[in-house]
Every structure is written in structure tokens, then in C-alpha cells.
Structure 1
Amino acid sequence: MKPIVEIPNRAEQVYISIRDSICEGTLTPGTHLVQERLAARLGVSRQPVQQAMALLRNDGLVLERGSRGLYVAPVDAAATVHRYQIRLGLDQLAARLCAQRAVHDPAFRAEFLADGNRILEAGERALASGIHRDAVAMDVEFHSFLYERSGNPMIAATAEPLWHYLRRVMITVITYADRGSLVWQQHRDIHRTIAAGQVERGVALVTDHIEGAEDAILRAEIPVPDLDD
């Protein structure tokens, strides 16, 4: 076995900075990532940038075009479908477990309603602000709320790696598919149904919500960058 090499903290910071810029749309698909420029912009040497790029390629956020170098990857249809398949299973399980808890625990139900309403209100404000990054952050928070309240900590742990890729997909949905208001109405319906302990109905609403988002991104007319320029 090869020795485990710990990623230096600076490389991790560079990775997070570039990753978030890609996920939030600041670095758009097709952007040429020149490591010397990134290092200068971030105030670091090339080494942590090189290490960050290796991680970003593993995430599917950066791709290499031979001698042309590294680019921000386009949103890939197959990769999106694969991740949404996993996300669907996790959200269905979280909805089922939350609804079952609501049936048997009135205190849980009351707390679930109150805390969920605060997230919903904050999400609707973020959507109204027009800042896509904030709206998506609240969208992630709503689903993370379901994972947390499910009582199964493995759901959030399993979902966490998916969100880096899915955040940029969700921003793309808002930008090109115009689903913002529908998304938050669906969140409200899901929240209310789960709180009422309607297990199968809650799972069905979550299924429609996730599959609708996947369909919207696959049907959206997203500009395809020319990486040969």
C-alpha cells in the first residue's frame, strides 16, 4: 500500500475557493484555468493549486484537454443523472423517516413544523433577492434539514459529496429553467405533508420534486462552451 499523504491546509483552502467559485457560477463552464494566474490571484504558490486541481477533477468540476490545459467542466448530462438517482433515493428515505417520526412523536412534529417554516421563509426571501447563490444555499439547507431530522445520520454523510456537483446544477436550473417559485412551493407542500405524517404522500411529493428538477436541467437550453478555442 502507498503511504497516505495528508493534503496541506493551504491546498484544501485553494480547493474550497475554486470549488465554490465553480459551484456558484463565478467560474463558468469552459473557463480556462491557468494555474499561474490562479496562484497569483489567491496569493499562493503553484503547488497547492496543482493539488486542488486533482481534487476538482475527481469531483467532475474540472477537465483536462491535453496540452491545452485545464477547464471548468460543462454540466454533463450523464453525470447529472447518476447523481440525481442517488439523491432521489436519499431524499425518499429521509422523507419516509421524517413522516414516520411525525406520526409517533407530537413533539417532533411541532419542532419540525416550526424549524422548517423558518427555512422556507428564509428560502423564499433568498429567491426574491435574485441572488442565485443564496437561493441555492437555502435549497440545500431545506434538504439537509430533512436528512438531519430523519434520525439517520448516514443520509447526510452520504449526500455531502454530491452537493458540490449538484449546487452548480441547481444554479443552472434557476438560471435557465425558471423553476424558482415552483421549487419553493414544492418545498412547502413536502414540509406540510411530512409534518402531517402522510408517509407515502410525502415520499411521492419528494419524488416528483427531484425528478422534476432533473428533467428541467436535462431539457434546459444551456450554452455549450467551445473548449477548442
Structure 2
Amino acid sequence: MPVPQSRGLVPRSLLRENAYQAIRDAIVDGTLAPGERLSDGELSEWLGVSRTPVREALARLEQAGLVRTRPGRYTIVSPLDVRAVRAAQSVTAAMHELAVREALPNLTGAELDAMRQANARFADALRRDDVDAAIAADDDFHGVPVTASANDAVRTVLEQFTPVLRRLERLRFSSLSGRGSVAQHDQIIALCEAGDVEGAAAATRANWGTLVPLLDTLPTEES
């Protein structure tokens, strides 16, 4: 498999977590393409770690639906499959809606400002066609109510399912279909500022629902 040229990216103090994050991010950004075979040895060389944290990372990535393993045969990057992505979209939308419901009664002016700033960065990234920056800003925007909700269960579920959606979001933010999210974010902020829990929750779910049309472009795998 082709691997990035940089080596030794993972600090020794955080081998397991950073190995997981590095491989996950390479899958999400397309460096490691759907269907590509993954070699423990090549990943270890790229990250500058032993095979143990790499194998542990691959096991976590399999649970997240990003890789598939056939013991003794191969490990590959999972193809983008409509059923897996649809499930991830449904769960993720519900978790973000719940986060807004729980965060809104106590959402501060500073947190609303943080959402506005993130949305401004998001809009700027879309204008520059910078998909990575758009995804990072979108993460920051939605991360404000997730953090403010102080619900560890929500965060845990999102950490598992969001990476599956990130590959789909790269398609959305690289096209005109992602531009409407800026206005949707503004609406969410306005509803939060007005204290409209039901409105803000519904607007958040609708925002995540904009991924649904892209699901029709994905293949449905035969069982």
C-alpha cells in the first residue's frame, strides 16, 4: 500500500490513541482509499511505532466501521457503503440534537460567540474550497453544544460514528451542496440565542439531514 512519506508522527506517550487518530484521519481524508489493503508493517514504519499499537488501532477502526479484517488474510479500508453511512448519519443527527437540547438552557454568550466564529471560519473555508478547513470549522461549530451539554455518553457515541460521516462530508463540502450549511448554522445560533429549544433542536437535525441526499450516490453492498 502507498503510505505518506513522513515518518515517526506518534509521540511515545500516546501511542495507542495517536496511532488510531493518525490512521483514522488518513482514511477520512482519502490518503488511504476505500478498498486499499493495510499492512501492519508499513503502518508501523510510517508512524514510527511497533505493530502492537497499530493492531490495536485497526481493531478500534473496525469497530467504527472504517476498516475490515479477515484474520490471517487481509485488512482493508472499508468501502463507503450506504447502509453503514445511513446508520451513522441517523445516530449522529440524534446525538447532536440531544446535545443542543441539553446545552441550550445554559448556553452562554461566549459559547454563542464561539459558534459564530466557527461558522465564519466555515464560510471562509467553503469560499476558498478548503475542504479540510471546512470540516474542522464544522466540527468546532457543532462541538460547542456537545461540550456545553456535558454529556459524556453523547461524546462517546459521536467519537465512534462521526468518522464514518466525515468521508461523506468531504463530498458535500467539495461541492455547492455544502454552501447551505452556513445559513443553517446561522439559524441554529439565532434559535439558541432566543432560547427556542425545540426550534434549535429541529434545525440541528435538519442540518445533519443535508447529508441524506448524498447517500443515494453510495453503493449498497450485497450481504
Q: Same fold (TM over 0.5)?
A: yes
Deviation at 1:46, TM superposition (A): 3.2
Query: Identity over the aligned pairs, expressed in percent?
Result: 29
Over the aligned positions, Cα root-mean-square deviation in angstroms equals 2.8
TM-score using structure 1 length: 0.77
1:36 to 32, 41, 61: 41
Deviation at 1:154, TM superposition (A): 4.3
Distance 1:151 1:58, change over 3 A: closer
Deviation at 1:145, TM superposition (A): 0.7
**Are 1:46 and 2:46 an aligned pair?**
no
**Are 1:148 and 2:153 an aligned pair?**
no
Distance across 1 between alignment mates of 2:105 and 2:209: 23
Deviation at 1:181, TM superposition (A): 0.9
Alignment of 1:99-118 (within 5 A): 99-101=104-106, 108=108, 110-118=109-117
> 1:126 aligns to what?
125
> 1:168 aligns to what?
167
Deviation at 1:22, TM superposition (A): 0.7
Deviation at 1:18, TM superposition (A): 0.9
Distance across 1 between alignment mates of 2:110 and 2:72: 56
> 1:173–1:216: 8 Å Cα contact kept in structure 2?
no
**Are 1:85 and 2:90 an aligned pair?**
yes
Deviation at 1:52, TM superposition (A): 2.3
Q: What is the SS of the residue equivalent to 2:32? A: coil
Q: Which has the larger radius of gyration?
A: 1
TM-score using structure 2 length: 0.79
**Structure 1, unpaired ranges of 5+:** 1-7, 103-107, 225-229
Query: Number of residues paired by the alignment?
Result: 209
Distance across 2 between alignment mates of 1:210 and 1:112: 20
Distance across 2 between alignment mates of 1:152 and 1:120: 23
| Structure 1 or 2: more helix by fraction | 1
> 1:217 aligns to what?
214
Deviation at 1:144, TM superposition (A): 1.1
Q: What is the SS of the residue equivalent to 1:179? A: helix
Distance 1:155 1:12, change over 3 A: closer
Distance 1:203 1:66, change over 3 A: same
Q: What is the SS of the residue equivalent to 2:179? A: helix
Distance across 1 between alignment mates of 2:210 and 2:83: 16
Distance across 2 between alignment mates of 1:29 and 1:203: 33
Distance 1:84 1:185, change over 3 A: same
> 1:29–1:74: 8 Å Cα contact kept in structure 2?
yes
Deviation at 1:73, TM superposition (A): 0.5
Q: What is the SS of the residue equivalent to 2:68? A: strand
**Structure 2, unpaired ranges of 5+:** 1-12
2:195 to 194, 197, 221: 197
1:71 to 72, 76, 89: 76
> 1:60–1:165: 8 Å Cα contact kept in structure 2?
yes
